Structures are given as structure tokens and as C-alpha cells.
Amino acid sequence: MQDVTDAVSARSGPGRPPAELLRRLRARHACDPVTHVERVPARAGEPAPWPAWAPEELRAAFARRGVVAPWRHQAEAAELAYAGQHVVVATGTASGKSLAYQLPALATLLADPRATVLYLAPTKALAADQLRAVADLQLDGVRPACYDGDTPRAERKWIRQHSRFVLTNPDMLHHGILPGHAQWSGFLRRLAYVVVDECHTYRGVFGSHVAHVLRRLRRQCAKYGRTPGQALAGSHSTPGQVLAGSHSTPGFVLASATSGDPAAAAGRLTGLPVAAVTEDTSPRGGVTFALWEPPLLPSDTSATSASAADLAPVRRSALRETADLLADSVVEGVRTLAFVRSRRGAEVVAANARRALDEAVPGLGARVAAYRAGYLREERRELERALLHGDLLGLASTNALELGVDLVGLDAVLICGWPGTRASLWQQAGRAGRSGDEALAVLVARDDPLDTYLVHHPEALFGRPVEATVLDPANPYVLAPQLACAAFEAPLTPADLELFGEGAKEAVDSLVEAGALRQRPTGWYWRHRERPEVDLRGEDGAPVCVVEASTGRLLGTVDGGSSHFLLHPGAVYLHQGVSYVVDSLDLADGCALVHAEEPDWSTHARDVTSLSVVSVRSYVDAGPVGLFLGEVDVTSQVVSYQRRRIATGEVIDTRPLDLPVRELRTVAVWFTLSPESLALAGVEPADVPGALHAAEHAAIGLLPLMATCDRWDIGGLSTAVHPDTEAPTVFVYDGHPGGAGFAERAYGTAAAWLGATRDAIAECGCESGCPSCVQSPKCGNGNNPLSKPDAVRVLDVVLANLAAATGPRGERGTALPRQDNRSSERSVTEGRAAETA
């Protein structure tokens, strides 16, 4: 094995040129799977002089790390931050955003021995990476330290009292630092800068929660000597003029991937005016970017059932295709990172790649591993070490490694399935390339409407601006719990309500009415001894521990919101390439017992959904078509699961489950059609359910093209006659309490969204519908009924009438006044198909 390892290591020096590697990968297929190749040219860097206020000690430390001068965008952002402005630097991957905030923050720490800095990262891996970077500078008196859930309790007191550069995450700030603010009073009193890294990840419900955590942080800074909202102390005449105890808010320095309108997004996140630096002046190596569509399976393999859905053509799994590409790249001596959308998918890709490599060269499979959330701390750290030191040649990872961790030495990135946004796509692609060298990125399409659309419409990916970050701090399901947390930390005052923004007074009134707060002349007080339990990530419950029944060994964790789908009795659970079958799931105790087993089948949970309209916010009257935005109540339950053959996808059987019902009040967009308009379009009454169901699936699949969401962030339901609308209706709703902004985005871009949906269905080469157009991997009704041609007719009716009512671009102008619709307790039980988030 050592000989094999040495041989591959010798071959993995500079790796093959991207064009040559891509040619060899394509040659392994009888039919060319590449639909498009985009060449992103190399770019020269534009350096700038060091700022005059940067101390020589800091310049020398950066020089030891190989940084002889900053790039212009780094210097510009650092100057703004040091001059007292809140700033966001939104540039590409590997553009050196870290220097943009390290420069003003560390200069201030060196100039003022009392100042402190707080760094926030969305993942522990990124915080650990930044800790290494700051510690390597070896600056006296800075004493950087990570403070998160993995920090031993024996070290926490020392960090609170002595560290001046604390690296943590929003969860720890929310659960640990702010509730214990008295212990952090000295640190908060002297806080000069708050660094918010990878701030584009704070979107949806998570981003809305983090926005209020930052407001709570500003509030505590004011309590200990800083006034939230007050501008920083003007331009610095001397280094470090933001002195400890000065009555100004800490300076916020945010780093983001390139995104639409980063200044506005950063302003919503922090509640402060933020200047944006967006021109990337760093050097960049060229990237060869290929769009890859796996081939169709032979008809005798794909036909596994008598149903029309199962007889549809099926493409080779993107997971298997990615695993083969990962194995082929490792054999070629190319260090490769494969991004996979799910934890289970990362395990499958790594396991299949290891198996293929060991068959080709025994022992080579040990150079490939999986990386995902849910691993124990020791496992994560060992994998990060092996990756950084080159012990691993191939890694299959979830987006846990998408963010700014310094992955030195990677030559190629495989992206298994559309990652949800163009921002994520370029973040992941940017992980490859070392010191300006050429790199290869491959997007492997899943058998999914959006993926299929994108690989055949490269103009939707390349040369287009990235999406704006969507978050809604006014979401009452976020605002009220966050105000409860703030009241626990210190009584709320009228001035605090202004800090928390729109809807704060109404949320406080609701908390008083519910008995959570008590109003007194001096403010609103938390009434309970225990602090509020609020999950920032909206994962619907505490994590469920996965325990091996025979040994009691803790394998990992799964968030509560996914446990019904991933850990139901009989489910197959993967951990580091080893298969386990779930024996029991105890939701009350948060524990699933499993045993090791290698079945030749996989499991797929199925659920049923009902929906009732609560209220209508705004609508468009387009004659026989209506477009609506409003609140809905969604009730769902996982009722069964299928076992399918791994080799062929054949359905073995369907087994019942008895799991609790889940209820969700959220925001939805929906459209209605009159039966007469459908009849005129040629849709027979018997085909209406299948037409609406197919249109719903495709609309859900294409919404991530318009909004910063993932297919799994949203759900939908269609019905031939809905009791609340009394018409054929298609709903698409946010899969988070109170909504996450995705339905609003869909409503605002309805013409473009539904137009792309219509094109994706019409342009698909299948006859009756397939996963590339109208079938869904998470349909609660087993993709039945579906009618592909009638879905096109339905969308033609909707688009034609919307265009007549709103203009060719779908502009709606001023929304109509909000109108409350009748609340309905009835469930949709007949003539409907459902898809849940």
C-alpha cells in the first residue's frame, strides 16, 4: 500500500492541465456527457501600498506569510473600516477577504492594548482555519482563541478574561456569550470590531435570526459603554483611535462571496449603514468549467414498474457519476474535492469512489474520505488535517467545506448537483486552483428540472450576476423569540424596540399577551427563570443522536427537522462509508438506535400534506388566472417509506410508518385557474390533477433559479379544486415557520420564474415526464398522477394572462392592500398531490 501511496503522490504534483484532464474524463464515455465548456480567463492582480497606519510589526508578519502588499480591494476595505465605516467586502473565492478585515482589526489591537475583536463564522471549520491564520502571524498580545461548542470548559474562563481576538459562531454568540454577558463585560466594553465572515450564508430564517443576534450584541455593547447605531468616531488621525470605552458601536466588517446588492444585504443583517467594496483586484488562475449531464440508463434497466412514472427514461445517478469522476481524477494524480448536497450523498460518493479505486489499485481507496456535519469533533479535525497535509487525494464533502477554509493544493472541483445559488456555485468552483494555477470545475447535473435546464442553458449560469441574499428580520416567528432572548438578557426598553426594527412593538405585545413578558414602567421583563429555547437554524427541534445499539457508541447526530425522513425505523443510515439500519427512533429522548448492516436496498420516506389559506397579503387579478401571496397553514406527516434496489432503483416494497403530524404556518405564493380556461387550452377534466401536479413539481425545481433557496427549503401542493380558492390551484410555500422570503421572491418574479418552468418542461426530450422535468425526488404521492404536455398548457394559460394583466415583463407595480381571507380547517384530501419541504 505504501508503494501505491508513494506512486500516486509522485503523480499528484502539479496535476494534469485542466483541458487534458477533462478530455481524458470525457473519453471514458461512449456518448459525450459534456453539454458546455466555459473558459474563465486568468486575471492579473492590482496591488496597492500598505496603509500609512498599518504598523511595521504587522506588515512584517504578513510579509513572513508571503504577502508583500495588499491588493487594491483589500486596502480599500481596510481603509474604510479603519476610518470608522461599516463595510462589506464582496469579492470572489480566494480573493483575500481575510486580509481586508485582519488588517484594520489587528492594527487596532496592536495600537490599543485594551481593544478586542470578535470574529463570527458560520462553521467551526472556518473559525478553526482563521485561528490558524491569525496565530501564524505571531503577534504579541493578540492571544487569538476559538470559543465554540468544542472548546473545553477549562479553557473558557481564560478566553473570556485574556483573549483579545475571539473566534466563534452565531450559535455560540446566541447560546453562550450573550446570555452570559456579565462574564464578557470587559471584552464587550472594549470591542473595537465585529467581523462577520461569509455573510452571504446568513439567508432565510437562519439569516433573520442572526440579524437579531447582532442587534442583541450591539445592545449589550451599549450597556457596557457603546451606543448602538451611533457612527464610529470619525476618521482616525492615529492608529487605533477606536479606543476601549469610546461611545460608539463596534465597527462591523463583513466578508461575502460576490452577491447581488451586498450593501443592502449587509445593512439588513446588521441594522447599520454599510459601504460595499465589490471590485475584485486579486490575481486569478484560469478555470475550465464544464457542464456534465450523466447518460441515460438502458431502457431495460430503467423500466422497473408498470406505472408511467417508472417507465420514464432515467439518467445515471449524479452520485454515481460524481463518484466515478472522483476516482478517475485520483487515479490521474489530481487532488480533487467533490461537493455533494446531502450528508448521505457525500457518504455514498466517497464509498463508491473508494470501492472503484481499490478495485483498480488495491489500497488507493484509503486516499479518499467523506466530510460532513454530524461527525464527532475528533473525526472532523483529523479529516481537516489530512486534507491540509495532502494525505487525502480525494474528498467528498457537503457544503461544510464550501466556505473560506484554505484548501491548498486542489486542482479540480466536482459539484454534484446544482448547489442552490450562483454564489455557492462560484464559491465551490473557486476551491480549486493553487497560487494562480489553472483549475478544472465540473457541474454534474442531477436528474432534476433545474439541473437539466441549467446544463442546456449555460447563459443562465455564466455572465449573469449572482443572487441577492434574502432574509427578513421582521418575520414574527423570528422576531418574537429573539425579543424574548433579549428580554432574558436585560429588560427591554422603548429604545430597544427601535433597534430591533419593524414589528418589534407588535411582537412584544404578543409576548405580553402570552405571559412571557411583564410590562413595568421601566420596560418589559422576562417572566420565567429559564431562558428561551431558540434554534437559530430553524432545524425544528434538538439534534437526534445516532447510537450503535450493540456497543452504545455515538456515531453522529441528525437535526430534528430531518429525523423523520432520515432516521425512521427501517431507514438506512450511512456513516464514513458504513451502512446502518435504524432499529428505533425515540423523538422524546432524541435518540435513534441502529445496527450495522449492508443491505442491497436504500430507503426513501414518503409523506402526505394538507394546506389551508389563512390570509392574503396581495394578489394580481388576471382574468381567469389569479396570482396570490399570503399566509397558509401546512400539515404534514411521514406515513411510509419505500425500499429500492441500489443497483436498479427497483421498488421492492412500501412499508407504513407511524410518526407524529407536523404543523407549519408559513408564507406561500399560489396561482388559480378557472376550469373554463383549462378546457379552452385543451386540458381534459380528468387530466387536471396530473397537469397541476407536474407544473407544481417543475415550479418548485426552478424557483432556486430566482431566489437564494434550495429545493429542500420549499414545498408545494396542487389540487383540482381547493376548498379555500374553489378553483384549480398550485401552491408553493416556504418550508420555515413564518416564511423565509422565498415565496415573496417567487411572487415578485412570477413571469420569469414560471416562464423558465414552462421552457424546462417543453424542452425536455422525454415523452411523458421524467426526473429532468416534472418528476420530483421528494414527492409524497410517488410522482402520480403527472401529465407533462398538460403542464405546458397550464403554464401557457398562466403566462398569457399574467402578461395581459401586468405587462410583458410581469411588472405588478403597487401591490393591492392586504386582505384577510377566511381561515379554513378543512384538509385537502381528494384530487390533490403534495410535495413537502
Continuous segment of H or E residues that includes residue 630: strand 625-645
Residue 450 pLDDT greater than 80, yes or no: no
Residue 635 pLDDT greater than 90, yes or no: yes
Return the minimum-mean-pLDDT range out of 14-23, 29-38, 75-84, 620-629: 14-23
Q: What's the pLDDT at 746?
A: 92
What distance in Å separates the CA atoms of residue 480 and residue 738, rounded to the nearest whole number?
A: 11
- H, E, C per residue of 466-484: CCECCCCCCCHHHHHHHHH
Residues in a beta bridge with 715: 733
Q: Which residues contact 129 (CB under 8 A, 6 or more apart)?
A: 384, 404, 405, 406
Residue 612 pLDDT greater than 90, yes or no: yes
**Torsions phi, psi for 44 (to 5 deg):** -80, 150
Q: What's the pLDDT at 314?
A: 72
CB 533 within 8 A of CB 526: no
Q: What's the pLDDT at 296?
A: 82
CB 831 within 8 A of CB 721: yes
Return the minimum-mean-pLDDT range out of 62-71, 83-92, 180-189, 602-611: 602-611
Instruction: Kindly state the greatest CA–CA separation across the chain.
Output: 78
Q: What angle do CA 657, 660, 661 make, to 5 degrees?
A: 110
| DSSP one-letter string for 150-213 | TS-HHHHHHHHHH-SEEEE-HHHIIIIITTTGGGGHHHHHTEEEEEETTGGG--HHHHHHHHHH
Q: What's the pLDDT at 14?
A: 44
CB 198 within 8 A of CB 257: yes
Nearest to 566 by CA among 657, 449, 665, 696: 657
Q: What's the pLDDT at 765?
A: 79
Nearest to 731 by CA among 740, 718, 742: 718
Q: What's the pLDDT at 829?
A: 27
CB 101 within 8 A of CB 173: no
Residue 495 pLDDT greater than 70, yes or no: yes
Nearest to 631 by CA among 744, 540, 507, 727: 744
Return the minimum-mean-pLDDT range out of 328-342, 505-519, 640-654: 640-654
What distance in Å separates the CA atoms of residue 571 and residue 343, rounded to the nearest whole number?
A: 14
Q: What's the pLDDT at 297?
A: 78
Q: Is 805 helix (H, G, I), strand (E, B) or coil?
A: helix
Dig out the grid coordinates for 591 from the structure.
Answer: 435518540
Q: Crossing angle for the helix pair 18-27 and 318-331, nearest 10 degrees? A: 120
DSSP for residue 260: B
Question: Exposure pattern of 79-107 as b/e (b: 16+ CB <10 Å)?
Answer: bbbbbbbbbbbbbbbbbbbbbbbbbbbbb
What distance in Å separates the CA atoms of residue 152 and residue 588, rounded to the nearest whole number?
A: 28
Dig out the grid coordinates for 598 from the structure.
Answer: 449492508
Q: Which residues contact 459 (CB under 8 A, 6 or more apart)?
A: none
**Torsions phi, psi for 719 (to 5 deg):** -155, 145
Neighbours of 378 (CB within 10 A): 9
Report residue 201's pLDDT band, with 50, 70 and 90 as the boundaries: confident
Compute the mean pLDDT over every residue in the chain, rounded to the nearest whole number: 84
Task: Give Cα 811 to chain centroid, integer Å.
Answer: 29
Mean pLDDT of 385-392: 78
Q: How far is CA 804 from CA 392, 620, 699, 755, 809, in A?
A: 58, 11, 21, 14, 10
Q: Which amino acid is at 19?
A: A
E-assigned strands of 203-341?
251-256, 275-277, 287-292, 336-340
Residue 381 pLDDT greater than 80, yes or no: no
What distance in Å separates the CA atoms of residue 119 and residue 133, rounded to the nearest whole number?
A: 13
Question: What are the tens digits of pLDDT across the range 537-583?
Answer: 765 567 789 999 999 888 888 877 778 888 999 999 887 668 899 99
Residue 242 pLDDT greater than 60, yes or no: no
Question: What are the tens digits of pLDDT across the range 39-91?
Answer: 988 888 999 999 999 999 999 999 998 999 999 999 999 999 999 999 999 98
Q: Which residues contact 175 (CB under 8 A, 6 or more apart)?
A: none
Which has more confidence, 239 or 694?
694
Q: Is 621 helix (H, G, I), strand (E, B) or coil?
A: strand
Mean pLDDT of 515-540: 88
Mean pLDDT of 167-175: 96
Q: Which residue has the cell 491548498?
A: 408
| DSSP one-letter string for 509-559 | HHHHHTTSEEEETTEEEE--SSPP---TT--SSSPEEEEETTT--EEEEE-
Residue 504 pLDDT greater than 70, yes or no: yes
Sign of CA dihedral 456, 288, 409, 333: positive
pLDDT above 90 coverage of the chain, percent: 51
Which has more confidence, 267 or 333?
267
First to last CA, the chain: 45
What distance in Å separates the CA atoms of residue 67 and residue 133, rounded to the nearest whole number?
A: 13
Residue 9 pLDDT greater than 80, yes or no: no
Residue 534 pLDDT greater than 80, yes or no: yes
Nearest to 201 by CA among 395, 500, 402: 402
Which has more confidence, 402 or 254?
254
Q: Which amino acid is at 58?
A: L
Q: How far is CA 121 from CA 34, 400, 478, 630, in A?
A: 36, 12, 21, 34
Would you put residue 143 in left (φ > 0), alpha (ψ -120 to 50) or beta? left
Return the minimum-mean-pLDDT range out of 63-67, 429-433, 439-443, 598-602: 429-433
Q: What's the pLDDT at 35?
A: 95
Mean pLDDT of 343-350: 87
Q: Which residues contact 680 (CB under 8 A, 6 or more apart)?
A: none
Q: What's the pLDDT at 505?
A: 94
Q: How far is CA 449 from CA 352, 414, 650, in A?
A: 25, 20, 22
Q: How far is CA 23 from CA 10, 13, 415, 442, in A?
A: 22, 19, 18, 12
Residue 473 pLDDT greater than 80, yes or no: yes
What distance in Å separates the CA atoms of residue 451 and residue 416, rounded to the nearest whole number?
A: 10
Instruction: Determine whether 576 is exposed, middle or buried from the number of CB atoms within 10 Å of its CB (0-12, 13-18, 19+).
Output: middle
Dig out the grid coordinates for 71 from the structure.
Answer: 491588493
DSSP for residue 779: B
Mean pLDDT of 404-427: 78
Q: What's the pLDDT at 462?
A: 87
Q: Where are the alpha helices (DSSP H) in 567-705?
A: 675-680, 688-702
Q: Which residues contact 20 (CB under 8 A, 6 or more apart)?
A: none
CB 693 within 8 A of CB 786: yes
Residue 322 pLDDT greater than 90, yes or no: yes
Q: Which residues contact 826 (CB under 8 A, 6 or more apart)?
A: 612, 723, 724
CB 768 within 8 A of CB 312: yes
Per DSSP bridges, beta strands 191-196 and 116-120 are parallel
Residue 795 pLDDT greater than 70, yes or no: yes
Report residue 1's pLDDT band, with 50, 70 and 90 as the boundaries: very low
Return the minimum-mean-pLDDT range out of 7-11, 59-63, 387-391: 7-11
Which has more confidence, 665 or 769?
665
Q: What's the pLDDT at 807?
A: 57
What distance in Å separates the CA atoms of residue 658 and residue 310, rounded to the nearest whole number?
A: 27
What distance in Å separates the CA atoms of residue 96 and residue 93, rounded to the nearest whole number?
A: 8
Q: What's the pLDDT at 837?
A: 30
Residue 411 pLDDT greater than 90, yes or no: no
What distance in Å separates the CA atoms of residue 54 and residue 36, rounded to the nearest whole number?
A: 46
